Every structure is written in C-alpha cells, then in structure tokens.
Amino acid sequence: MANTSVKKRNLNKKLTEQGDKPSEAKLTNGKSVDGASAKSKSKQPAKENKNANKKATKQQTSAKTTKKSAKGVKASPFTRLLKLLFWLFLILHVIGPIILHYSPYLQRHLIFLNFVKWPPNLNLTKPEALGLHSVRNFYITQEKENITLGIWHSLPQGLVDQAIKERHSIKFYEESLKSGKPIILYMHGNSGTRGSGHRIKLYHVLKALDVHVLTFDYRGYADSSDVVPTEKGVVEDAKFMYRWVKSRAGKSPVFIWGHSLGTGVSTKAVKELKESKEFPHGLILESPFDNLSDEMKYHPIAITHKLWSDFLEWALGLADIKFDFFDWMIVQPTKDIGLTFTSDKSISDVHIPILMMHAVDDLVIPISLADNLYESALQTRPKDVPAVKYIRFEDHHDYGHRYICLSPELPKIVGDFLESGIKYFNSKQ
C-alpha cells in the first residue's frame, strides 16, 4: 500500500510539472525546433516594427514642429514694407517703363487718361441730375470719320425763363445761339468727362456771366465714339465743334476755352483754323503748358523716374555722351506716335486775343511751363494784336490745378476779356 501511494505521488508530481511548463520541442516545417529559440525569433520582427514606427512618429512630430516654428516666425512690419517698396519700385521704374516704351496703345491711354471716368456711373443724358438746369444733352456725328460726340449746351441765365416757356425745345436751344450773347466752346483736360465736378462748377460761373457754354467729350471719352484718341483726332473734334457752333451762331461772338490738356487741343485747333481763315473772338487758356515733352518731364510722377534715369546714366557712363535715359524711355516714344501738343510753337500763329490763367500752386502743370508759353507768345506777337493777358493766382488761394473756377475774381476777369475780344473783333471788320 505504502509503495503504491508513493508511486501515485511521484506520478502526480510529474504530470503537474509537465502541465506547468511548455513543451520542450515543437514541430516547425517538419523539423524539431527549440521552444525558447522559436519564441525569441518571433519577437524580433515585432520589436523591429515597433522601433520603426516609433522612429517614423518621431520624424513626423519633428517635421510638424519645424513647420509650426516656421509658420510662427513672421516677417517684421519693416521687412514687409521693404518688400512692398521694392516691388513697387520694380514695377514703376523698371517693368512699367519698359512696357510703356514699346506700347503705343498704353502711351496714348496714359496721356489722355480717357479710361478714368470720374465720378463713375454718371448719366450724362440727364445733366439736371447733376445740378445743371437749362442744359441740353445731345449728340452730333461728323460724317467724314463717323465719329459721334456727346455735347452739353448750357443756356445763359438771361434765357432760362424763355427756355421754360418754350419747354426747352431743341429748336429754341439752337436758335438761341443767334441771340447775340457770347458763346464759349469749352475743351476739357484729360481724364473724366464733361460732367466732372470742377467742370460743373465752372459752367455755373459762366451761366451767371450770361454766356452760352457748349462743352463736349472728345472721341474715346465718356459717351462719345469709343475709339482710341490721338492728337490729330481730338484736334479734329475741336475744329468740327467750332464750325458747328459758328454755323449756328449768326453774329454772336464765339470764344474757345481750354483747360489743362485742353489748352494743347485748343491752341492747335485755333492755329489750324487760322490757316482756313477762321478766327474765334478769343482764346482762354486755363492751366496751360508749353509742350507735352516738358509736361511729362516736370510732372510730379516723373520726379522719381528722372532720379532713377540720372542714376542709370551715371552708372552706365552715359552722362558723358549726354544721353537722356528718361527722354529715350518715356518721352521719345510719345513723339514717335505723334503726341507732342507743342503749344509753344502753335501759339506763334494765334493772332487773336489770348487770356492765360494759372495757379502758382499747380502741382500737375508747374507754373514755369505756363511762363514758358507766355514768353513764346510774346516773341512772335504782332503789334496790332492785343497783348496776351496773363493772370497768376498766388498759392495762398489753394486753387491748384482745377479750382481757379472758385476765384471770386474770375467773373470780372473773364467778363472783361470777353468784352475786349468783342471790341477787337468788331474793329477788324
């Protein structure tokens, strides 16, 4: 019995040990493999994968951190300003001038600025909406070139009541031109339309002076024919308008008034009218210049371009051979396409009364250019023609380029000139 129980205990012990431990050998691919070795081998790839994943995660985290830190570092306001100034300089003084030099289309548009329609969205067919009463809007087509011009006719104050009685009929407006009251044909400057604010202010002044005002938009401007303007084209428009007015004016005196670029248009138009023995009663030049080349050189926008050109001339050694880089790059191309407006030459053939007005604080057209034009007029002025009247408005008035129309002296200045022009014209009959 004792031996049997001892054997049973030994047997149970062995069974227990075998159950607690894994088998010493397993069959792998038909071969006996050590259990511990198989376990360690199976763990190695898992460890390697785990390490690789950790490494990739670290790299991704590092990349994200670098990205965040790069985003977090912003350029200072001063650096951003320098970059902006650099690009502006590059566009305005390098890229822009090169494009302009080789593009006649851009040259014309930058001289005439006819694409600038300010104020925008004006309904020019309804001048009363702009505060202009007893003003007729109409259109005329010159058959020769098939160019249509948009026009306003503002009645003298003395005819307003009669116009109301006549219900502002077209017939009344045209027949009123023969009333004997002075007629001013107004030629505006570049940009804007016949409805621009400073021009409307002038129409009010002239209405109060009891004169007719006919103002029009050149080809390419406002609601006139949509073509690219040229110097020859706008001068043709001016002459066409003068002849249209003159043919309906009877014995009423007709004066021409030009402002800014309109002084170049009107001076050349009057010169060419003289060639066909057509003489207005007088020419009024408000804020004039001597020629387009000088105006381009002395315009405020050209100052930095001139400095840059002077630097290039010095750097490239061109100063010694007297090469004008600004003239070659900007001015000469406009001459090549026929944009000159040489009023200093045209005025020598304008033998009618002339009134010039300019503000000393005009920044767009420096008064020195008006002085040059005045000197040119004096040099060739016949003795039997009235002297050129030149009015300079001091800078404390702040009239600048556009607002001589605000001068309380203007009605008397213009009124006296109209009277003297009529007297001179009558004396020559």
Of the pLDDT bands very low, low, confident and very high (cuts 50, 70, 90), residue 48 is: low
pLDDT, mean of residues 328-334: 89
The two tokens of residue 6 are 């001892």
The two tokens of residue 80 are 């951003």
In a domain, 308, yes or no: yes
Active-site residue set:
260, 362, 401
In a domain, 51, yes or no: no
pTM over the 0.85 mark: no
pLDDT at 334 over 90: yes
Q: What is the mean pLDDT of the chain?
A: 86
> 368-426 pLDDT, tens per residue?
999 999 999 999 999 999 999 999 999 999 999 999 999 999 999 999 999 999 999 99
In a domain, 396, yes or no: yes
In a domain, 6, yes or no: no
CB count in 10 Å sphere of residue 84? 10
Given 3-state DSSP classes, what are the helix, strand and coil percentages for the chain, each rounded to the nearest 5?
Answer: 55, 15, 30
Of the pLDDT bands very low, low, confident and very high (cuts 50, 70, 90), residue 20 is: very low
Q: What is the CATH number of the domain that holds 196?
A: 3.40.50.1820
Burial of 153 (0-12, 13-18, 19+ CB in 10 A): buried
DSSP string, 166-210: TTT-HHHHHHHTTSSS-EEEEE--SSS-TT-HHHHHHHHHHHHTT
In a domain, 79, yes or no: no
In a domain, 323, yes or no: yes
Distance (Å, rounded) from C-alpha 41 to C-alpha 64?
36
> 102-119 pLDDT, tens per residue?
899 999 999 999 999 888
pLDDT at 186 over 90: yes
Q: How many distinct structural domains can be found in the chain?
A: 1
Token look-up 């129409």 returns 203
pLDDT at 27 over 80: no
**Residue range of the domain that includes 290:** 127-427
DSSP string, 381-425: --TTSPPPEEEEE-GGG--TTT-GGG-TTHHHHHHHHHHHHHHHH
Distance (Å, rounded) from C-alpha 382 to C-alpha 347?
12
In a domain, 18, yes or no: no
Q: What angle do CA 111, 345, 305 make, to 5 degrees?
A: 35
In a domain, 97, yes or no: no
> 61-92 pLDDT, tens per residue?
555 555 555 455 567 888 888 888 878 777 77
What is the pLDDT at residue 9? 58
What is the pLDDT at residue 67? 52
Q: For the CA atoms of the chain, what is the radius of gyration? A: 43
What is the pLDDT at residue 138? 98
